[in-house]
Amino acid sequence: MTFSLNHNAEPRDPFARQTALYCRDFLSPAPTITVHTSGSTGAPKPMQIEKVRMRASAGMTLDFLDIKQGGTALLCMPLEHIGGQMMAVRALVRELQLYTLTPHADPFAAAQDPAALPCCQLPERFDLAAFTPLQAACALDHPASRHYLASCRNVIIGGGFVSCELASRLAALPGRFFHSYGMTETLSHIALKPITADGAQRPFYPLPGVTVSLSPEHTLQISAPALNPELIVTHDLADLTEDGGFIIRGRLDNILNTGGLKISPEDLERRLAPYLPGDFAVSARPSERLGDELILVTEQEAGEDVLNQAFSQLPRAQRPKAVIKMALPRTATQKIDRPALRSLLAKTGSSI
């Protein structure tokens, strides 16, 4: 199989060199390769994954998006985790021209400095690219980066929540943008949904060869024999739709218990998203009276009028009791580190 990087055989750029080494490892006779979990629910853990299953996952995505042999792809996500690794595998499976940019909050920042990457000349368009929501938002904030983002024909956004504001900005670009659902155990995503301008809560739809169901705890179960021989029972609370899709409501292990009422912070965040600017999260700190006292943590200042309008969308018992402005702790894959956030809030003092 032929494979082409946009660099020489021994790339000078460290990330391009890392990518080249990963691709050589993947093409070696060894049947498995090491991947690490994202660290969303604990410390990242190494897993040995069969390469044949990674090829199957790549083929499912490439076929669904109709990516042709010899097209162009962009890798700008860390290779330590499944999202970055699968972009490299997709390039190998379909013999795509793979371009690399060192992972950064603004993925195209380095491309705007010719001195930084003298060997790198990006193509006029990419047939396939993948970003985290944070990367997409940062790229949109800079005109030069936005130009590169607009050159992407098919874009996968994964690894976190896509806000209404971000959805609207992405939908204004000419390419096709999809929000993905998946995890390390499913070798990246097993379901996609188009990102639309209205940012509505639409279902994810499984890729061909994947079926979903609900566990007794109402969490999503995934059957994808080509990717994992076992039934995967997730901790993601979900609803199934009549047309075969599913909607994620939040994680079972993130549930907050305030005054005996069990609340999904992710569900509250979705309802608040149309009204609050910037990145924020709903969490809790200890309370003698309530158990969990709901707290809104925001990275951007929000005025009293804005907060009042946002909170008016929630039942009184579900409204945060305090607002704290601080940087949100994140995992290595830029997801909100909810256990770390709760630990930080516990140190701000308990309430009665």
Answer yes or no: is 226 within a domain. yes
pLDDT at 278: 85
The H or E element containing residue 280 is strand 280-287
CB 184 within 8 A of CB 82: yes
Q: Quick check: is 351 in a domain?
A: no
Please check whether residues 333 and 259 belong to one and the same domain. yes
| Enclosing H/E stretch for 24 | helix 14-26
Burial class (CB in 10 A: 0-12, 13-18, 19+), 314: middle
Question: What is the reported pLDDT for 116?
Answer: 54
Q: Which of 251, 276, 297 is the last residue of a domain?
A: 251
| Total count of domains within the chain | 2
Does 307 lie in the same domain as 233?
A: no
Does the residue 193 lie in any domain?
yes
Domain-embedded: residue 352: no
268 in the same domain as 192: no
pLDDT score at 165: 86
Q: What's 132's domain CATH number?
A: 3.40.50.12780
Alpha-carbon torsion (286, 291, 293, 299), positive or negative: positive
Looking at the fold, whether 186 and 69 belong to one and the same domain comes out as yes
pLDDT of residue 111: 74
For the chain, residues with pLDDT lower than 50 are 1-3, 6-9, 117-119, 351-352
Residues 176 and 215 in one domain: yes
- Render pLDDT for 293-310 as a digit per residue (tens, 0 to 9): 999 999 998 899 999 999
Whether 202 and 69 map to the same domain: the answer is yes
State which of 225, 251, 277 marks the end of a domain.
251
CA dist., res. 352 & res. 339, Å (int): 22
266 and 140 both lie in a single domain = no
b/e burial code for range 80-91 (CB count within 10 A of at least 16 → b): bbbbbbbbbbbb
Beta strands 46-50; 32-36: pairing state: antiparallel
**183 and 88 share one domain:** yes
Both tokens assigned to 235? 């901790």
Residue 349, SS3 per DSSP = coil
CA 109 to chain centre: 20
Residue 103 belongs to domain spanning:
4-251
- Residue 171 falls inside a structural domain: yes
CA dihedral (183, 179, 251, 321) in degrees, to 10, reads 140
Residue 284: inside a domain: yes
Distance CA(246)–CA(206), nearest Å, equals 8
Asked if residue 44 is part of any domain, the answer here is: yes
CA atoms of 283 and 339, how far apart (whole Å): 9
Q: Which residues neighbour 252 within 8 Å (Cβ) at sequence distance 6 or greater?
A: 217, 219, 235, 236, 237
331: which DSSP letter?
-
pLDDT at position 286, please?
A: 92
Instruction: Select from 138, 342, 149, 124 the least CA-distant residue to 254.
Output: 342
pLDDT at 352 (0 to 100): 43
Q: Is residue 277 assigned to a domain? A: yes
Question: Residue 52's pLDDT is what?
Answer: 97
Question: pLDDT at position 8, please?
Answer: 42
Which residue, 201, 235, 251, sits at the end of a domain? 251
Name the residue among 100, 102, 108, 98 with its Cα closest to residue 73.
Answer: 98
Do both 233 and 342 map to the same domain?
no
User: What is the CATH classification number for the domain harbouring 277?
Assistant: 3.30.300.30
Q: In this structure, are 86 and 188 located in the same domain?
A: yes
Distance CA 343, CA 185 (A): 27
Query: Do 53 and 94 share a structural domain?
Result: yes
Per-residue pLDDT tens over the stretch 329-350: 988 777 889 999 999 999 876 5
Same domain, 220 and 303: no
Q: Tokens 């309530």: give the residue.
A: 290
How many percent of the chain have pLDDT more than 90? 75
